[in-house]
Chains A and B, each alone.
Chain A
Amino acid sequence: MKKDIRICGFGGQGVILAGFIIGKAASVFENYHAVQSQSYGPEARGGAARSEVIISDEKIGYPRPVGVDCLVAMSQESFDTYRDDIRDDAVIIVDPDLVKKHEIGRKLYKVHALKIAEELGNKIVTNIVMVGAFTSIYGLLKPEAVKESVIDSVPKRFTELNVKAFERGLEAGKNALKEL
C-alpha cells in the first residue's frame, strides 16, 4: 500500500500544516512510513501552496508523488492547477465555497470547511476542519491518531479550538460520504 496525497490552496491557509499533521499521524501515531514535502511561493500570504504526503507500509524511496490518490483543494487556482494531475480513481475533496467551479464531471466530496471554521469563531482552523474531513472520507488513518497529531502540532492555547475543528471536520466528512 502506498498512497500519494496532495493538499493545495493558497499561502496562509495552512496547507503545509495540514500535510504535516497527516504525515505525523501516519508515522508517529500509527506505524506507517510517511514523508511530507511542500512547495510554496515567496509570499507569506497568497500565492499557490501545496503540501504532499506519501503514506506507505513499506520504506519510501522517491519522496515525491508520481500520481495523486487523494486531492484536497482549498482554492480555485490550485484546484484548476492540479485537478487533472491525479489518478483515475483518485478521491477529490473540495471546499465548494473556496472552489466554486468544481463541476468537472467527476464525483467529488464537498466539505464546507471555511464555513464550519467561521462558525467556530476563527477561519484560521479551516485547514484542521479539512484534515478531519480527509480522515473520515479517505479512511486510511485512525481518527484517534490524527486527533493526537493535531493536538501535538498546534499551540497549546489553541488545542480546544483545533480539536473542535477536527471533530466538526470528521462529522462533515461523514456527511459528505453519505451525500455521494
Chain B
Amino acid sequence: MKYIRDPKRIREVLGKKVQFILGDIACVYGGLLAGVSFFGGYPITPASEVAEGMARRLPRVGGVYIQMEDEIGSIAAVIGAAWGGAKSMTATSGPGFSLMMENYGFAVMTETPCVIVNVQRTGPSTGQPTLGAQGDMMQVRWGTHGDLEALAFAPSTVQECMDFTIEAFNLSEKYRNPACVMTDGEVGHLRERVVIPDEENLKIIDRRPATIDKKDFIPFTNSQTIKNCKVPDFPTFGTGYRTYVTGLTHNEKGFPATDKQPDHERLVRRITEKISDDADKLVMVEEMNLDDADIAFVTYGATARPAESAMEMARKNGMKVGLLRLKLVWPFPNKLITKLAKQVDKIIVPEMNLGQIVHPVTEFACKHCEVVSAPKIGGEMHLPMELYKYLEGK
C-alpha cells in the first residue's frame, strides 16, 4: 500500500504545537513531518528513544517500523525501502554507525536518499554508552571507503534536532545521497521547548521522479528532465522504469563496469560533484558577534553551547570574542573559514573529541591566523570556564 503523507494525521500524532521534549524525540518529529514512511531500527543508547519514538508513532501515520537484527541490517532495510519509494531513516550511535559504514557507502554509490541520525557517544568501540561525544565527525566524512561527499548536520538545540532532521531529508532527497544528523548524547538526552512548524511554513523536498518515456530512460546519468543537473531522476521500483542497482562501479544503465578507468571516474565525479558543485549554496552557519572579533570560536553541536557561554563571559570583560557555529558541518564551509581567518587573530575549535573538525579549519585558516584545538573527552561537555581559559591563552 502506498504511503501518502497526511499532514492532519501527522499533526494529530505529534500533538501540541509547543512541547518540552527530548532531542531524540525531536528527531522523530522531524522525520514524521518530513514524511518518513519507513524506519529500520536497532536500539542503542543514547539513540534508543528515536527508535522507540518511531515505533510508537510511525504506524499511526501509516508508515512501517521494522526492528532489524543489527545496525547494518537496519540501513540495508532503509536503502531497500528508499528504492521502493519511501522516505526512510534509521538512528544509531557510535558502534552502530561503525557497523553501518559499509552500507552507508552503498547508499552513496547507488545514490539512495535516506537519513541516518547518529546520537554520538564516546568511543572507540562501545566506550561510554550513556555519555555524549562528537567523535564521529570525521567518520561521517571518511569512514566508508572511497570518494564521496557527506551531508552532515550538527544540532545544538532540541529544536534543531527536529529542524535538521527535516532538512536532512530535504538534502538527501534533493541530492540522492544519504544525509546524517550528527547529534550527540548531550543534546539527544536534553529536554527543551520545541515549536512544531505550521504546515505552510514547512519546506519539504521530494526526490524528482523519472518521467521520461520508459524506453529512453537512463538511470545513472544527469537528470533527463532538467538541464545541467547531476542528480539522476529516481526510478522507484515497481513504476516500470528498468534499472539495476549495484555498489560496483556501474555504467549509466546501472550495469557493472568495473575494469575501465573512465567509467569509474565519470560515475564518482558525478556523484561527488552533484554535491560539491553546490557547496557554497549549502553553507548553513550561525554567526555571533563576529563583526569586531579578534578571537573566534568555530564549533558545532552541543559544544557550541558552552562556547557561547564563554563568549558572553568574555564580552562582559571587554574581550572581542565571536562565534561561528556550523549547522551543516559537511560539506565544509571552506571559503567562510578563510574569510574569518583573514579577519581574526585566532580561531579556537572546541570539540568533544581529541581534535577532528579542527583539521579542516586549520586547512583553510592556517595561512591567515592561529588555530587552536580545544578538545574534551570522557562524556562531559566543556565547562564555559574551561573555554574561557582558552580565550585568555591559558
Chain B, residue nearest A58 (CB): B312
Which of B191, B307, B309, B312 counts the most A-chain CB atoms under 10 A from its CB? B191
Asked if A23 is at the interface of the complex by the 8 Å CB criterion, the answer is yes
Instruction: Decide if A66 touches B383 in the complex (CB within 8 Å).
Output: yes
Instruction: Find A38's partner among B20, B189, B306, B381 (CB 8 Å cutoff).
Output: B189
B20 touches A24 (CB 8 A): yes
Pick the contact of A35: B191, B309, B312, B385 (CB < 8 A): B191
Q: How many residues of A contact B (CB 8 A)?
A: 18
Count: A-B pairs, CB below 8 Å: 52
Judged by a CB distance under 8 angstroms, whether A81 is at the interface is: no
Q: Are B384 and A63 in contact (CB under 8 A)?
A: no
> In the complex, what's the smallest C-beta–C-beta distance from A113 to chain B, in angstroms?
23
A175 within 8 A of B: no
**Min CB–CB distance B208 → chain A (angstroms):** 39
Contacts A28-B19, A61-B312, A66-B384 hold; do A36 and B191 have CB atoms under 8 A apart? Answer: yes
Q: How far is the CB of B300 from chain A (nearest CB, A)?
A: 14
Determine whether the beta carbon of A64 is less than 8 Å from that of B193.
no
Q: Quick one: which of B20, B306, B309 contacts A28, CB cutoff 8 A? A: B20
Minimum distance in angstroms from B183 CB to a CB of chain A: 13
In the complex, per-residue mask of A31-58: 1 if CB is within 8 Å of any chain B CB, else 0: 0011111110000000000000000000
Residues from chain A with a CB closer than 8 A to the CB of B20 are: 20, 23-24, 27-28, 34, 36
Check if A62 is an interface residue, CB within 8 A of chain B.
yes
Indicate whether B130 reaches chain A with its CB closer than 8 angstroms: yes
Q: What are the residues of chain A within 8 A of B130 when measuring CB–CB?
A: 39
- Complex alpha-carbon distance, A58 and B186, angstroms: 20
Distance between B253 CB and nearest chain A CB, rounded to angstroms? 52
* Tally of chain B residues near chain A (CB < 8 A): 20
Query: Separation in Å of the B121 CB from the closest CB of chain A?
Result: 14
B336 to chain A, nearest CB (A): 22
- For B141, the chain A residues whose CB sits under 8 A away are none
Known: A61-B384, A62-B384, A66-B383. A34 touches B309 (CB 8 A): no
Asked whether B18 is an interface residue with its Cβ less than 8 Å from the other chain, the reply is: yes
Chain B positions 193 through 211: 1 when the CB is less than 8 Å from some CB of chain A, otherwise 0: 1000000000000000000
* Contact indicator per residue, chain B 284-319, by CB within 8 Å of chain A (1) or not (0): 000000000000000000000111110010000000
Asked if B263 lies at the interface with its beta carbon under 8 angstroms from chain A, I say no
Q: How far is the CB of B99 from chain A (nearest CB, A)?
A: 22
CB distance from B196 to the nearest CB of A (A): 12
Closest A residue, CB atoms, query B193: A27
Q: Is B52 an interface residue (CB 8 A)?
A: no
Q: How far is the CB of A117 from chain B (nearest CB, A)?
A: 24
| Per-residue interface assignment for chain B, residues 170 to 186, with 1 indicating a CB less than 8 Å from any chain A CB and 0 otherwise | 00000000000000001
Interface of A is mostly: mixed
Question: Is B383 touching A37 in the complex (CB atoms < 8 A)?
Answer: no
Chain A, 58-78, contact with B by CB distance < 8 Å: what is the 0/1 string? 001111101000000000000
B309-336 interface bits toward A, Cβ cutoff 8 Å, 1 = contact, 0 = none = 1001000000000000000000000000
Hey, which chain B residues are within 8 Å of A37, CB to CB? 186, 189-191
The answer, yes or no, to whether B192 is at the interface (CB within 8 Å) is yes
Complex contact B312–A23 (CB within 8 A): no
Residue of B nearest to A153 (CB): B20
Minimum CB–CB distance for A156 against chain B, Å? 13
A34 touching B384 by the CB < 8 A rule?
Answer: no
Closest Cβ–Cβ distance, residue B81 to chain A (whole Å)? 33
Question: A19's closest neighbor in chain B, by CB?
Answer: B191
Question: Would you call B306 and A62 a contact (CB within 8 A)?
Answer: yes
**Cross-chain contact of A61 among B189, B190, B191, B305 (Cβ < 8 A):** B305
B383 contact set on A, CB distance < 8 A: 62, 66
The answer to whether B186 and A63 touch across the interface, beta carbons within 8 angstroms, is yes
CB–CB B381/A64 < 8 A: yes
Evaluate contact between A35 and B18: CB separation under 8 angstroms: no
Min CB gap B137→A, angstroms: 20
Within the assembled complex, what's the spacing in Å between the Cα atoms of A50 and B191?
14
Closest chain A residue, CB of each to CB of B192: A35
B327-385 contacts to A (CB < 8 Å): 381, 383-385
By the criterion CB–CB under 8 Å, are B191 and A20 in contact?
yes
CA gap between A20 and B307 in the complex, in Å: 25
Instruction: Tell me the nearest residue of chain A to B131, going by C-beta.
Output: A39
Distance (whole angstroms) from the CB of A17 to the closest CB of chain B:
11
24 A-B Cβ contacts within 8 A? A20-B20, A24-B20, A27-B20, A27-B192, A28-B18, A28-B20, A35-B190, A35-B191, A35-B192, A36-B20, A36-B190, A36-B192, A38-B189, A39-B130, A61-B305, A61-B306, A61-B309, A62-B308, A62-B383, A62-B384, A63-B190, A63-B305, A64-B381, A66-B385
Known: A20-B20, A27-B193. 18 other contacts (CB 8 A): A23-B20, A24-B20, A27-B192, A28-B193, A33-B193, A35-B192, A36-B20, A36-B191, A37-B190, A60-B305, A61-B305, A61-B306, A62-B306, A62-B308, A62-B309, A62-B384, A63-B186, A66-B385
Chain A residues in the interface with B (C-beta under 8 A): 20, 23-24, 27-28, 33-39, 60-64, 66
Which 10 pairs across A and B sit closest by C-beta, in order of nearness? Answer: A61-B309, A24-B20, A27-B193, A36-B191, A61-B308, A62-B306, A62-B309, A61-B305, A62-B384, A28-B20
